[in-house]
Amino acid sequence: MNPVVVTTTMNIKGREFLLADVTRGMGQIGVFRFGSDPSAITDIFYVENEPIISIGWQNLHDPYANKFLTQISSTERCSEYIRTRLSVVGENYFIDKQGLSRSIMPVLELLPDGLYVVHESRMIQSDGEGRFFWNSYNNRREVFGSADRNAAIGDGNYSPCFLVPTDQVASYQPNKMNIKSDKLNMGVQLGGVAYHIAGMFSVLLEGHHTATACLLNDKDFRCLVIEPISDVIYDSHNEDDDGIKPKIIALACPFIKIPLDMLPDNSLERFLVSRRYIKPYAYAEIKSKMTKNIRSVSKRSFPVAAYEKALQLPDLQTVESASGVNSVSEEQLAALLKGEVQYEDEFIVSSNHYSSVVTVCNFLKISNFERFLSFSLEILKSEELSASHKFVAEQMLTIIHQDICEYFSSVAESKEEKDGFVPAIAHKYMKRWNEFQQRKEEEETAANAAHQKHMDAMTAMAESKGGVAHLEAAVRQMGGLTKGM
């Protein structure tokens, strides 16, 4: 029987998303529980018959306990059928603009029965601690921010934006990444598909090279994120003191809380009947692959810039802090720059100015880099806001940008006697900037040399075949090749 997916576009508190109700789903992508001994629970994220990510629990009864995430295998080992279904989604949505519901359908049909939220969000190509995502999960380790509940965010909503790879390190191909870079630079919109697995983390089902290209080209990497609904929300306004828990009033995933009465007919009942950890059809095969090591040997390595740029991405604390704000107007920013914490008799963030600046900076860093840059520079230029200077300057330290360079350069070269942290940070920044420029020049020189060498070789080959036509053809071919490099 064919899968049935009913989708409903919803908008709750300005958050637009697609609610997908999957019945008779193919169960080819999902999470199942591998062993349920309370002291050693491990969930497995699988695709088809491959165990991709192991999710180890520290404490089943503590929603604030982080988990252990480890990459076990790769979706490259899955069938062409699955890979094609995954790859068409990005093309359908980001390039062909087919609409969210229609674009994501090939993947939704692969899921087990249940309710899912699908939304488009910016994703961050790191593990939340500044490490490039693609090779950050090879060893079993506690991943901060992977707990079901986040004490810093509390009841707020957030997008699980940190990425966990499903392709192995060896599958990285510079040419493929260069092609994506070229497309991005030509203005083509590219993106990926992700599936939420734990806390602030989502596995990237499709778009590893695009994610890397976006990182290297300073472009936002956007994904269609699928979040299974598995949590419930209690009525916090009706809490009893006698130990009796209040009523459950909403279903939830990190991105959104949906009140029970807003759910479409029958969806809630189907959600309640379906189970969260359905054993996949290929359970025996997946189990047998759990203990087999994946061979991940490759001569290729990720560009050094990918590691450096991952350091500049918003980290876990930044994202947690930013989730406390939904939007900030220019007027509110102006008020903060005047040292005020209120705008039109309402707190912009909180009654603490420093805390407000930190939260707003984090929010802007994630949502709009240009606004972050101008707001941060304004703060640094304002002598009245010196309490916030250290935080803002440190935020800028990791970002390689011409405007920041110009500001720090003027501070570093200034002959005025200045106290505080900013001059020290400015010197540090300029040192970094110079190193970056030097390495960039070296890389360009090396790339030009390689290009010239290749050209010479092609010319020699064409000459040996004796003919201008051959030479022209070879050069034309080279043009095509070098364009992709």
Give the angle subtended at the CA of 220 by the CAs of 142 and 109, to the nearest 5°. 70
CB of 147 to other proteins, least distance (A): 17
CB of 32 to other proteins, least distance (A): 7
- The residue type found at 135 is N
* DSSP type of residue 94: I
CB of 148 to other proteins, least distance (A): 13
Q: Which is nearer to other proteins, 99 or 246 (CB)?
A: 246
Residues that bind other proteins (CB under 8 A): 32-38, 41, 60-61, 230, 232, 243-245, 247-248, 260-261, 265, 268-269, 272-279, 287
* DSSP type of residue 295: P
Locate the DSSP E strands across 144-273. Answer: 162-165, 191-198, 201-206, 221-228, 231-234, 248-253, 256-259
Q: Which two tokens stand for residue 442?
A: 């070296």
CB of 227 to other proteins, least distance (A): 16
Q: Which is nearer to other proteins, 13 or 247 (CB)?
A: 247
Q: Which is nearer to other proteins, 34 or 255 (CB)?
A: 34
CB of 241 to other proteins, least distance (A): 13
Locate the DSSP E strands across 211-255. Answer: 221-228, 231-234, 248-253
CB of 196 to other proteins, least distance (A): 17
Distance from the Cα of residue 466 to its chain's centroid: 52
CB of 164 to other proteins, least distance (A): 23
* DSSP type of residue 230: -
* DSSP type of residue 24: S
Q: Which is nearer to other proteins, 290 or 485 (CB)?
A: 290
Q: Which is nearer to other proteins, 14 or 243 (CB)?
A: 243
Instruction: Please list the residues that pair with 29 across neighbouring strands.
Output: 47
Closest CA to 29 of 79, 70, 91: 79
The rounded distance, in Å, linking the Cα atoms of 160 and 349 is 22
The rounded distance, in Å, linking the Cα atoms of 108 and 28 is 10
Strand 221-228 vs strand 191-198: parallel, antiparallel, or unpaired?
parallel
Q: Which is nearer to other proteins, 186 or 272 (CB)?
A: 272
CB of 44 to other proteins, least distance (A): 12
Q: Which two tokens stand for residue 54?
A: 């192991």
Q: Which is nearer to other proteins, 31 or 364 (CB)?
A: 31
CB of 115 to other proteins, least distance (A): 12
124 close to 161: Cβ distance less than 8 angstroms: yes
Phi-psi sector, 44: left (phi>0), alpha (psi -120 to 50), beta: beta
Q: Which is nearer to other proteins, 73 or 267 (CB)?
A: 267
Q: Which is nearer to other proteins, 37 or 383 (CB)?
A: 37
Q: Which two tokens stand for residue 320?
A: 């947690």
